[in-house]
Structures are given as structure tokens and as C-alpha cells.
Amino acid sequence: KALLERMGIPTHILPQVVPSGTVLGKLLPSVAEDVGLEGAQVIAPACHDTGSAVAAVPAEGENWCYISSGTWALMGVELAEPVINERSLELNFTNEGGFGGTIRFLKNIMGLWLVQECRRTWARAGEEHSYSELTEMAERAQPFKAFVEPDHISFLHPGDMPARIREFCKQTNQPIPETKGEFVRCALESLALKCRWVLERLEELLGKRLEVIHIVGGGSRNALLCQFTADATHRPVLAGPAEATAIGNIMVQALALGYVNSHAEAREIIRRSFEVTHYEPQHPEAWEDAYERFLKIMAQAETFA
């Protein structure tokens, strides 16, 4: 509001900002009649999709973090107060309002976009594959052949992602993936290793160790990515629910209407109602070596666009 006033933009054109879980009132009669929901209450959920997804994380205790995994991967923690300092600014972490007055302190990471764009490129060439098929190919491919920095600017826009991965590997003097499985494995391993990098910075900013990673959203269905994330971070991963955004939205409504007494109770209901898959870290030495290589690749990636 203060910023708008300084710029001479009237603030009365904006709606009132209310906390998530606020009951706004009943549906307009004309709308209620159209949709068959007479008497239904309208409730403001955690309006961003990630906000609702984080509200649905089936976590217990305090020392956990989440990855809302889809086209993007948003990795962070739920806090009572924002973290605002020069280091958080330097690392490009953000503080976003969450359900129940919490702060979602997180960092955006390029998620399954790399795989999605590879799949679209191959489909345009007449080579259609499901995500399950591509993941199976990746599982059979050579491990740790090459890595990319998922957040490098060259991967940001739609287009021929396999060609961009080839070019990145060429620029960083790595073996170039050849098969579809190698491209997908490169993307998944690199994403898991980038999550390790973000986890370390998150722990640095918080001054404590995070013991468990919860993965929610569509990416939680990718068992290979979840296992790679556990392996790369040396942390157990709890994956699911996949439809966390919808579930979180429902739970915020249930809390607002008094059907559920607390956020902790809502999370317990989610734990008991939806499948959560547990992944334990494996092959620690191999992944530690891979991480050292990945850090060097990240440093090289800063030198070219």
C-alpha cells in the first residue's frame, strides 16, 4: 500500500488482504443456483498453489523441509518469522506468507521442466514416450555420466532441451548424453544434487540441521527422483501426497469451518488418508563424489550464458 501511494496509484481499487482460512461469506444466490451449492461458504485458502501444497505437507515435529515438486521445485521450510538478511538476499531465498500466519521460506529450483521439454522435443520428432517409460530408461542408463546446472539461463525457455543439454555438457567438458535414458538421468541426478546444494544453504541460514525432506506435488510420483533426492542429500525422503495443492485447499476450508481443530490435526488426517512413500539414502560415497563434481560444474556454469 505504501509503495502504491508513493507511485500515485489509488489503493481503493485493490481488494482487502485477508489471511488464508478467512470465511468471506456465502456464494451469491445466482452463482449458487448455477452450480447447485446453495448456502455454501466462500473461504480464502492459501491462494498460491504452493501455499496450499505446503499446508498439506504431512509432517510431524519441526526439523523438516519440503519440496513442492513439479515443473518447478520449491524447497523450503515453514517458519514463524521471516528470514531477512544480506545472505538470504544473496542466495535469492524468499519469504512468502503461509497458512496460519506462517512464513514459507524457500528457494525456487528448476524442476521437472528439463524432462518435460525433452519429452516435448522427442514427441515433435514423432517419438512419443510416457513419463513412466522415460523414467525406466533413465533407471537403466549409466549413472553420473554428466550433470547440468538446472537453473542455468540456457534451460529457462521452451525449446530443444536435449540440444541445450548437449551444449551445456560440451561447454563444461563433460561426456555428452546420447540416449533418451541418459538425458533424463542427467536431468534427474542434477535436480537431486541441486536440492542438496539448496539444503545446505537453507541449513546455513537457519543455523540447524534439517532431518527429513517431504516431497509433495506431481514430482512425488517419480520414484527415481525421490530416491535420487534421498541419496544426494543423505536424508530420508517422505513422498506424497501428489495432489497436495487440492488437499491443502480442502484442509484450510475444513479448518475455517471448524471441522478440524488445528493444522497439526489436519496434517495427521492427511498422513492417515493418503499414501506416503519412504525413501532411505543409499550409496553415500558415490553420491558424495558426484556432488563434488556437480559443484565444479556449477562454478563453470557461471562463466557462460
| pLDDT, tens only, 183-201 | 999 999 999 999 999 999 9
* Predicted TM-score (pTM) of this structure: 0.95
Q: How far apart are CA 279 and CA 276, in angstroms?
A: 10
> According to the model, what pLDDT value does residue 248 have?
98
Encode pLDDT of 226-281 as tens digits.
Answer: 999 999 999 999 999 999 999 999 999 999 999 999 999 999 999 999 999 999 99
| Residue 66 confidence (pLDDT) above 90 | yes
| Residue 75 confidence (pLDDT) above 90 | yes
> According to the model, what pLDDT value does residue 1 have?
83
Torsion of CA 244, 245, 250, 253, to 10 degrees: 130
> According to the model, what pLDDT value does residue 228 have?
99
| Residue 305 confidence (pLDDT) above 90 | no
User: Which ranges of 48-102 does DSSP label H, i.e. alpha helix?
Assistant: 49-55, 86-90
Encode pLDDT of 16-48 as tens digits.
Answer: 889 999 999 999 999 999 999 988 999 999 988
| CATH of region 48-244+261-305, choose from 3.40.50.1000, 3.30.980.20, 3.20.20.140, 3.30.420.40 | 3.30.420.40
Domains of the chain by residue range: 2-44, 48-244+261-305
| Residue 177 confidence (pLDDT) above 90 | yes
> According to the model, what pLDDT value does residue 148 have?
99
Q: Per DSSP, which regions of 80-210 are E strands?
A: 94-97, 103-110
Average pLDDT over the chain, rounded to whole? 97
Q: How far apart are CA 73 and CA 259, in angstroms?
A: 31
> According to the model, what pLDDT value does residue 48 have?
84
Of 34, 49, 151, 160, which is the active-site residue?
A: 49
Any long-range contacts for 256-264 (C-beta under 8 Å, 24+ apart)? 256/21, 256/22, 256/23, 256/41, 256/43, 257/23, 257/41, 257/43, 263/55, 263/99, 263/100
| Contact between 210 and 235 (Cβ < 8 Å) | yes
Instruction: Choose among 148, 153, 114: nearest CA to 290.
Output: 148
For the chain, what percent of residues have pLDDT higher than 70?
Answer: 100
| Contact between 114 and 219 (Cβ < 8 Å) | no
C-alpha angle 277/278/284, rounded to 5°? 140
| Contact between 143 and 285 (Cβ < 8 Å) | no
> According to the model, what pLDDT value does residue 266 have?
98
As a whole number, mean pLDDT of residues 126-150 equals 98
**All three cell numbers of 224:** 527415481
49 catalytically annotated: yes
> According to the model, what pLDDT value does residue 15 have?
85
> According to the model, what pLDDT value does residue 39 have?
86
